[in-house]
Structure 1
Amino acid sequence: MSSYNNSCAAVASGSLYHTSSRCISPNQEELYSSSDEYPVSL
């Protein structure tokens, strides 16, 4: 498992983003706010 702290680090398809800023989910349907952090799910 690895953590990404970039403005918008992309991980393997189907995984979640772990960033400090707004990023689009792999489904490009939901936005993850900067106040929430999601672990990388491989």
Structure 2
Amino acid sequence: MEQEFSIALELIRGRLAAGITQAEFATRMGTTQSVVARMES
């Protein structure tokens, strides 16, 4: 569980550092915003 939390935290940090929203990130990944939200939580 600790490893999963660490990955989610890095995902959030990277997205915020890039200055993009979950929706923008999802579009770049070819998925939906709800998938990104689930990955981050």
Normalising by structure 2, report the TM-score: 0.25
Normalising by structure 1, report the TM-score: 0.25
Choose 1 or 2 for highest CA Rg: 2
User: Higher helix share goes to which structure?
Assistant: 2
